[in-house]
Each structure stands twice: as C-alpha cells, then as structure tokens.
Amino acid sequence: MIKGFPGNIQEMLQQAQKLQQDITSAQQEVEQKEVSASSGGGMVTVRVNGKQEVVELRIDPSVIDSSDVEMLQDLISAAVNEGLRNSKNLLKEEMSKITGGLNLPIPGFGG
C-alpha cells in the first residue's frame, strides 16, 4: 500500500497504470498494421500504416491522362483520405477494446 493512500485509491492508481500500459502496447501494435483504400473503382489504391503514413500508392496506368490531371489528383486525394480514415478507425477500434468504449484522447493520433 502506498503510504497515505487508502486502499481503493491505490487500486485506482494501479488500474490507471495498467490502462496506460495497455494503451501504449495497443498503439505500438496498430503502428505495425496497414489498411488499404482505393478510388476510381480501384484505379488508385493506397496502403496506410497505423502511424498515419502512406506506405504505398499505386496508380493504374490507364488513368494517367495528361489532358485530365485534375481527375488523377482527385482520385489520389480520395484514396489517401480514405486510407487515413481507415487507419484512424483501426486505432479507435483497438482503443475501444481496451477502454471499454470510453473515448479517451490518444496523443499523436488526433483523439
């Protein structure tokens, strides 16, 4: 028992420490995972890791048209944004398992 702390406060502190360790562990696991997204019916695909980094971007050569660069830019933006959303959702799902659904802010991951 910690000197000066009643038993249930000490237990709460131990539970908080365990929760922090579990969150840190889950963050590290999620950072190693990857999710995919695509746009244009698969013409542009992206893989994003749990650290919110694009690890691969593929563009079907048939979608490359120098007279319509704007469409390609839109397809890339859409795929990347969906990949980032998927990555954030993966983290939220993993954190929800640990926190019992509490929406706790996770440093570096936008909450």
pLDDT tens digit string along 69-81? Answer: 999 999 999 999 9
Structural domains of the chain in order of their starting residue, each with its CATH number: 7-99 (3.30.1310.10)
Q: Which token pair is 70?
A: 């704007």
Q: pTM of the predicted model, to two decimals?
A: 0.72
Residue 1 has pLDDT above 60, yes or no: no
Q: What is the DSSP letter of 61?
A: G
Q: Which token pair is 60?
A: 């079907």
Q: What is the mean pLDDT of the chain?
A: 85
Q: Which token pair is 14?
A: 């131990």
For residue 34, the surrounding DSSP H or E stretch is strand 34-39
